[in-house]
Amino acid sequence: FSLIQILYQKGYSREEVIDLFAFIDWVMRLPEYLEKSLWRKLEKIEEEKRMPYITSVQRIGREEGRLEGRLEGKLEGRLEGKQEGAKKLLSRLLTLKFKENPETLSTLLKPLSLEQIEELSTKIFEAQTFEQMKTWIYQMQS
């Protein structure tokens, strides 16, 4: 922020400041709360100088990008939560059926996708031994 403020004070053009900020943004991503704080301060400078730092179209584009990113993050989080829940349930069923150590099961199941976990969930009824289940797990991992 101080750098951008100094550039404005030294008379750098809007385009030069935008180019520099785009480079900084590309090299170093700020945490969201710091980015919001920076934007509020820049808007204040814009008002004082009556020199827009970015156009309203650019600002809207950035906001839409952030919203899209948040939505993607929420969906990804839900999928990860569903996957973890399925792994815990399968681990619990395997522990009950084969009396295996839950930590061992957790390690075995960790690299598997949700689809693989769902497939294994049906195979638990076919398996006669834990070794059979381990064989299927290892086959899925390769």
pLDDT digits (tens, 9 = 90+) for 99-109: 888 788 888 88
72: pLDDT confidence band, cut at 50, 70 and 90?
Answer: confident
| Claim: this prediction has a pTM higher than 0.85 | no
Q: Alpha helices of 2-141 — where are they, by DSSP H?
A: 2-9, 14-27, 32-49, 56-98, 102-109, 114-123, 130-141
pLDDT band at 26 (very low <50, low <70, confident <90, very high): low
Residue 94 and residue 118 in contact, taking contact as beta carbons nearer than 8 Å: no
Mean pLDDT within 24-44 = 75
Nearest by Cα to 90 from 51, 118, 52: 118
Residue 57 is predicted with a pLDDT of 61
pLDDT digits (tens, 9 = 90+) for 78-135: 888 888 888 888 888 888 888 888 788 888 888 888 889 888 888 888 889 989 988 9
Section 4-11 average pLDDT = 81
